[in-house]
Amino acid sequence: MELHILEHSLKVASIAKEGIQFFTHGLIKLAFLPSKTRTLSCSCWCKFFTLTETPEDYTIIVDEEGFKELPVSEFLSVAEATWLALNVVSGGGSSSSSQPIGVTKIAKSVIAPLADHNISVFMLSTYQTDFILVRERDLPLVMHTLSSEFTLLRVVNGEAVAANSLGVTNGFVKPKLVQRPVIHPLSSPSNMFCVTSLDPDTLPSVTTILMDVMFYSSGVKESAAPSDDLEYIRFFSFSLIEGYVSLVMDEETQKRFPLNMLFTSASGELWKMVRIGGQPLGFDECGIVAQISESLAAADIPAYYISTFKFDHALVPEENIQSVIGALRTNKGGGQ
Amino acid sequence: MSGSKPDILWSPHHVDRYVICDSELSLYRIESVGNSEAKAGALRLSEETTATLLAINSDTPYMKCVAWYPKHEPECLLAVGQANGRIVLTSLGQSHNSKCKDLMGKEFVPKHARQCNTLAWNPVDSNWLAAGLDKHRADFSVLIWDISSKFTPDASVTTDKIRLSAGDTDAGLVVTKPLYELGQNDACLSLCWLPRDQKLLLAGMHRNLAIFDLRNTSQKMFVNTKAIQGVTVDPHFHDRVASFFEGQVAIWDLRKFEKPVLTLTEQPKPLTKVAWCPTRTGLLATLTRDSNIIRLYDMQHTPTPIGDETEPTIIERNVQPCENHIASFAWHPSSQNRMVVVTPNRSMTDFTVFERISLAWSSTGSLMWACGRHLYECTEERNASSVEKDISTKMRQRAQSRYGHDTEQVWRNYLLAGGDDPQLKSLWYTLYFMKRYTEDLEQKPLVNKLPLVYSGIKNIVKSSSGTVESWCCWNGSDRQADVIRYHSDERCLALQLCGWIKRGPEIDVEPFLQSLEAEREWERAAAVALFNLDIRRSIQILNKGASAEKGDLNLNVVAMALSGYTDEKNSLWREMCSSLRLQLNNPHLCVMFAFLTSEPGSYDGVLYESSMAVRDRVAFACMFLSDSQLPRYIEKLASEMKEAGNLEGILLTGLTKDGVDLMESYVDRTGDVQTASFCMLKGSPGEVVKDSRVQCWIENYRNLLDAWRFWHKRAEFDIHRSKLDPSSKPLAQVFVSCNFCGKSISYSCSAMPHQGRGFSQYGVSGSPTKSKVTSCPGCRKPLPRCALCLMNMGTPVSSCPGAGKSDEKVDLSKDKKLAQLNNWFTWCHNCRHGGHTGHMLSWFRDHTECPVSACTCKCMQLDTTGNLVPLDTV
């Protein structure tokens, strides 16, 4: 297995809902015209951009080139650290048991060891792959932790080159392997989601729909969605990472797109969400992803996991939602 | 594609069909103009070719890539990869035969939808179609489908979850289970099957090139690189692969897959297509975005003996098939260097890349050139004489007949040169007379007149002093002739150089006349006799000429006219002769009457008769011109000769700087560096040889000999040259030094006799001295062994220079017997192995590699001329 350390230096930011109008210009550029973010002084442009809308805020993950597009404003809060994205690439071609996809696949090999070493991670699943974001300052430790499992490769200028582990530990020579109880409260909204993508060439033809979905959700909600349903959650995620588009939207939103435009899997699967956290989770606590993903991995349930500024979100197949909730609830409280 | 940029695909089996694909597929047939003149709707592709649209297929939307079925049957089966990852089989312009029918419309659907980037049919097992897809977090990006497989619902996938349109499933046209799944959680941007094995697939993945082996799918070979687009195998060299990234092409050798064997110069715009030419080895065509130029890289591996590490020679060329930007191109599968290019607005051009022409001109004048697969030889259409007349041909022939090498009978060189050039005749006779004169001087120790002879008559007459004037009488009569003759030592020398008189004080032209008679030069002999005031002898010669075999009877008439000579100033004879003489064809006869009818002291009719030999005119001038007239005349004549580059003028200028000037204009006129080299070497005072022009001629002549592979002739020339010009002797270039003491083996030979004597004093026989041949004369340690016979080397000839001491003379004569070249040292300059020359030569007759085990040096091939045979085997 290979672990690629990508070259993007990422910022995680949150835009308050009421301030979104100040940012639309920059966000549209980042989402639809990334090559226009190129500046005169710098030949590179934004290659990593995600926008996730939750009921609380908009979470933006963007590389340094793209971050310049966002105006300084009271509505913008930025997590203090610079983050690096890790990406697991199955080096060998054979591990063909493709069923437990997504976070569960890497739960054991990446997320649990990082949690054991008290390294805080930020997860971002897309249609194409899973990114594990770690703080740049934690990188030596990350490399040390993962060097036994993975071939570490650092992406430099688009080319993967071998990265040497620096042999740094944080003092926990032998991390304690404890049962990780699920600490935070969970909720499961009623609406179902699909994770999809589209041909970047066809992006222009759905731009207006996407802009509508991204920035005018409140209006839509009032008119069309069953607002009376308290279990309903407003959640939409758009990402454009190295040319690949990934979208997470609920069933209702999906219907607004023209037929055949979105990539849907042959099985047309739908996903239900498990939302983690009652209070904003912050960035320092570690082990949250591990708590969830290890349980899912144990039950062999595929999942997507999307962290946002305030809360974490796991997507699991609709038919598994009850067993997932059950499993997580059992796990809650640790030793029970 | 997807409606924007058309691509072009050539049919793998029908050389006249191709498909243009953008939003739809269009099948064209290409024809030469003659066949389709009348046809409407034919598109002009070039001067000679047109294309006719045969069929259009617009059944498949969202096309991303297309691949043409590689086998003959079904004929026009295409696989189309779509934006959602589905692959559809379709066809063009086919009468739907049964074999094709059940394949048409068949779809291959990946588990998760994403763009299909590339398709590749397996060239051997043509049921296999490899598809490269974009990344999906949990799915594979390289799927290999079996197009003959039927739709089989996978038991593991619950049927109700498959939300396919109902129509597809019951027709059995949708396949969801690929044969192989490779490259999990990765993206595949380009694919090609490797011809090395039908189960090897090369894929350009997201950040690496990977070779998947379907015999063992758990293994893959990969290399991290950015250059992952457009992987394509060289059809002529199955281990060579090209791929690209943005503006840069990387060339890979699959045997050494760690890094590209070379990267081609980066182009400013991103590349869109890279393709090897199927009809010519090592030719790669590349196209960049928004360009009307196709850049060609011609990679030629010139076999060099020094290792295999050398990079291939790459020649870059740009071709511009049309004015507009090119969207795509495709090489013609069989027609040499031909391609069709298509522009974004679908206009097409048929274009043939013109092959570079390489030209070779041999030293013997034949001309050859190569273009493409053709080799042309130029043959002279004109009559062969023009080639024969060419100076290079002449020089070659003369070199073969050893022209210039006769140092005794110098004049014979003129015969060696073919004996038909009067200028050369004059030159060699002049040199002969000069040489003969100096030899005379050497016999009797005399004043230093040696340089004077070689400095030419011009300088000789200048130094003339003590001239005696005398009124002469007609020979055999007391009648006073009306002429004054001049005598001096210098004039006498000049006459000798002119060849009129032999050495010695007395002026006797009789031997000269006899030699002229022998050569049947009757008119000239008669003229010379007359100028020597022997009118009777002159008449006698003419009579002889008339009566000789094939003689000209008119000579009798001339003799008759001559006999009527009178010195009466106003006689009829005089009047008639002075006017009618101009009608005589022979210049000698003409000047005879000019002389007889001229006023004393003014002989312009003789002196300026340009068709008469210069030596005769000069000799005449030396006899009859006064001290004031003579130098002026000679001066004038000499500068004329110099101007014209006439070799007869060497008589006047001698081998002086003037002579070099004259020779320069001769060489300028004729290019005959051979004559110039030989002539100037004869100048015994070394001054002229040091002239840079002379050195230049000599070097050029040597180069010519080398170019003709007349190496023996060149060596002969060098020997000849070093005899005449000792300064040209080359210094020793190679020394064999002892491994142990570092002294030169030949050098320390001079010290040998001392030791040898030492031994003989103790009554030891000659054997120690003999054994020393194979040991260093300095430290007596053994010399290296021959790599073949393993005997210590050493050859007695190395003791030659400087060892000629009297007490060694006996040994030396013995040595000479032993001193064959076969025993000589020889070694390779590259690997430093060697041995006896004879052994080495016989080894390399059958081998190319060094005889030393484990040494892979291809010694003999290092010397490219070593295998050539000299053309002038002596």
pLDDT (tens digit per residue) in B512-521: 888 888 888 8
Query: Rounded to whole angstroms, how far apart are CA atoms B152 and B2?
Result: 31
Band of residue B282 on the pLDDT scale cut at 50, 70, 90: confident
Question: Using one digit for the tens of pLDDT, what is the confidence trace for A156-190?
Answer: 877 778 877 555 555 555 555 566 778 888 888 88
Predicted TM-score (pTM) of the model is 0.66
Residue B221 in contact with partner chain A when CB distance is under 8 A? no
Q: pLDDT at position B771, please?
A: 45
Between CA B698 and CA B689 the distance in angstroms is 9
CB contact under 8 A, A153 and B220: no
CATH number of B225-354: 2.130.10.10
Residue A267 has its nearest CB partner, among B157, B208, B217, at B157
Asked if residue B689 lies in contact with residue B681, where contact means CB atoms within 8 angstroms, the answer is yes
Q: Are strands B107-108 and B174-175 parallel, antiparallel or unpaired?
A: parallel
Which candidate, A81, A57, A77, A29, places its Cα nearest to that of A236? A57
B208 neighbourhood in chain A, CB within 8 Å = 160
Say whether B83 and A202 touch across the interface (CB within 8 A): yes
DSSP B427-456: HHHHHHHHHHHHHHHHHS---S-HHHHHTH
A100 CA: distance to closest CA in chain B (Å): 8
Q: Which pLDDT tens digit goes with each residue over A253-303? A: 888 888 777 887 656 678 889 888 878 888 888 888 888 888 888 888 888
Say which of B137, B164, B217 has its CB closest to residue A126.
Answer: B137
Tokens of B235: 């059809």
Measure the CA dihedral B547/B553/B557/B562, to 10°. -50
Pick the range with the lowest mean pLDDT from A106-110, A125-129, A202-206, B353-357. A106-110
Query: Nearest CA to A170 among A115, A251, A127, A214?
Result: A115
* pLDDT > 90 fraction of chain B, expressed in percent and rounded: 11
Kindly give the pairing relationship between strand A271-276 and strand A312-317: antiparallel
Per-domain residue ranges for chain B? 1-218, 225-354, 392-447+454-459+636-730, 465-626, 754-873
Phi/psi at B858 (5° precision): -95, 70
From residue B130, alpha-carbon distances to A68, B15, B189, B232, B273 in Å are: 42, 25, 12, 14, 20
Q: Which residues of B touch A202 (CB under 8 A)?
A: 83
Q: Mean pLDDT throughout B530-542? A: 84
Number of Cβ atoms within 10 Å of the Cβ of B224: 18
Q: Rounded distance, CA B438 to CA B441, Å?
A: 5
- B755 has pLDDT over 70: no
How much of chain B, in percent, has pLDDT values that exceed 70? 82
Would you call B261 exposed, middle or buried from its count of C-beta atoms within 10 A (0-12, 13-18, 19+)?
A: middle
pLDDT of residue B157: 43
Q: How far is A93 from chain B (nearest CA, A)?
A: 5
Write the DSSP string, A157-209.
Answer: TTEEEE--------S-SS---------S-EE--S-EEEEEEE-GGGGGGGHHH
Q: How far apart are CA B780 and CA B63, in angstroms?
A: 86
Whether the CB of B136 is below 8 Å from some CB of chain A: the reply is yes
Chain A CA closest to residue B117: A199
How confident is residue B456, by pLDDT bands cut at 50, 70 and 90? Answer: confident
**Predicted confidence (pLDDT) per residue in B207-263, tens digit:** 889 999 888 877 778 888 889 999 999 998 888 999 999 889 999 988 888 888 888
Look at strands A151-156 and A2-16 and give their pairing. Answer: parallel
Q: What is the ipTM of this complex?
A: 0.81
Query: A42 vs chain B: nearest CA distance in angstroms?
Result: 17
Contact A155 B187 (CB under 8 A): no
Q: Helix or strand or coil: residue B174?
A: strand
Residue B244: the pLDDT is 93
Please give the average per-residue pLDDT across B701-708, as a whole number: 90
List strands edge to edge, sheet with B338-342: B328-331, B338-342, B348-352
- Does B367 have pLDDT greater than 80? yes
Architecture of domain B1-218: 7 Propeller (2.130)
Q: Is A277 in contact with A184 (CB distance < 8 Å)?
A: yes
Q: Say whether residue B215 is in contact with chain A using an 8 A CB cutoff.
A: no
Choose from A3, A110, A128 for mutation: most chain B CBs within 10 A: A128
Contact B207 A158 (CB under 8 A): yes
Report d(CA B411, CA A265) in Å as an integer. Answer: 103
pLDDT of residue A140: 86
**Is B496's pLDDT higher than 50?**
yes
Output the CA torsion B157→B161→B167→B172 (10° steps).
0
The pLDDT of residue B204: 92
Question: Is the CB of residue B155 less than 8 Å away from at least one CB of chain A?
Answer: no
What average pLDDT does this structure show over B278-307? 81
Closest CA to A9 of A77, A69, A61: A61
B23 touches chain A (CB under 8 A): no
The distance of B115 to chain A (nearest Cα, Å) reads: 6
Nearest to B783 by CA among B808, B731, B812, B746: B746
Closest-CA distance, A195 to chain B, in angstroms, reads: 11
The answer to whether B468 and B478 are in contact (CB under 8 A) is no
* Closest approach of A267 to chain B, Cα-based (Å): 5
Give the separation between CA B653 and CA B659, rounded to whole angstroms. Answer: 5
Tell me the C-alpha distance between A109 and A129, whole Å: 16
- Select, from the ranges A143-152, B67-76, B287-296, B777-786, the one with the highest average predicted confidence (pLDDT): B287-296
Find, in chain B, the residue whose alpha carbon is nearest to that of A160: B224
How do B7-10 and A312-317 pair as beta strands? unpaired
Helix (H) or strand (E) segment spanning residue B837: helix B837-846
- Token code pair at residue B374: 């053709």
Residue B8 has pLDDT above 80, yes or no: yes
Per-residue pLDDT band for B832 (boundaries 50, 70, 90) equals confident
Residues B388, B346: Cα–Cα separation, whole Å = 59
pLDDT in tens, A49-63: 999 998 888 999 999
B260 in A contact zone (CB under 8 Å) = no
CA dist., res. A295 & res. A336, Å (int): 15
Q: Is residue B489 predicted with pLDDT exceeding 50?
A: yes
- Comparing CA positions, the residue from A153, A118, A150, A147 lying closest to residue A134 is A118
| pLDDT tier at B96, thresholds 50, 70, 90 | low
Tell me which H or E stretch contains A238: strand A236-241
Q: How many residues does chain B have?
A: 874
Q: How far apart are CA A30 and CA A40, in angstroms?
A: 17
The strand pair at B338-342 and B348-352 is best described as antiparallel
User: pLDDT averaged over chain B?
Assistant: 79
Quick check: B157 contacting A, CB < 8 Å?
A: yes
Residue A199 reports pLDDT greater than 70: yes
Q: Which amino acid is at A314?
A: A
- Our CA-based measurement puts residue B145 at a distance from the nearest CA of chain A, in whole angstroms, of 16
When pLDDT is averaged across residues B504-533 and rounded to a whole number, the result is 82
B475: Cβ–Cβ under 8 A, 6 or more apart, which residues? B532, B533, B534, B535, B536, B537
* Fold match, B1-218 / B225-354: yes
Nearest chain B residue (CA) to A198: B114
Per-residue pLDDT averaged across B284-312, rounded?
A: 76
C-alpha span between B85 and B115 (Å, rounded): 5
Instruction: Give the residue, B548 or B145, on which the prediction is more confident.
Output: B145
The pLDDT of residue B765 = 41
Q: Which of A128, A201, A267 sits opposite B136 (nearest CB)?
A: A128
Task: Average the pLDDT over each of B190-204, B444-458, B637-651, B837-851 and give the range with the smallest value.
Answer: B444-458
Q: Is B639 helix (H, G, I), strand (E, B) or coil?
A: helix
- pLDDT at residue A138 above 80? yes
Q: Is the pLDDT score of B803 beyond 60? A: no
Q: Which chain A residues touch B139 with a CB distance below 8 Å?
A: 98
pLDDT of residue A49: 93
Based on DSSP, count helices (H) and strands (E) in chain A, helices before strands. Answer: 10, 17
State whether A159 and B224 contact (CB < 8 Å).
yes
| Chain B contact probe: residue of A265, A270, A271, A305 with most B CBs at under 10 A | A265
- pLDDT greater at residue B445 or residue A11: A11
The C-alpha of A266 sits at a distance from chain B's nearest C-alpha, in angstroms, of 5
Higher pLDDT, A59 or B806: A59
Mean pLDDT score across all residues of chain A: 80
Mean pLDDT of B743-760: 50
> Region A228-240: what's the mean pLDDT?
81
Task: Check A202 against B187: CB less than 8 A apart.
Answer: no
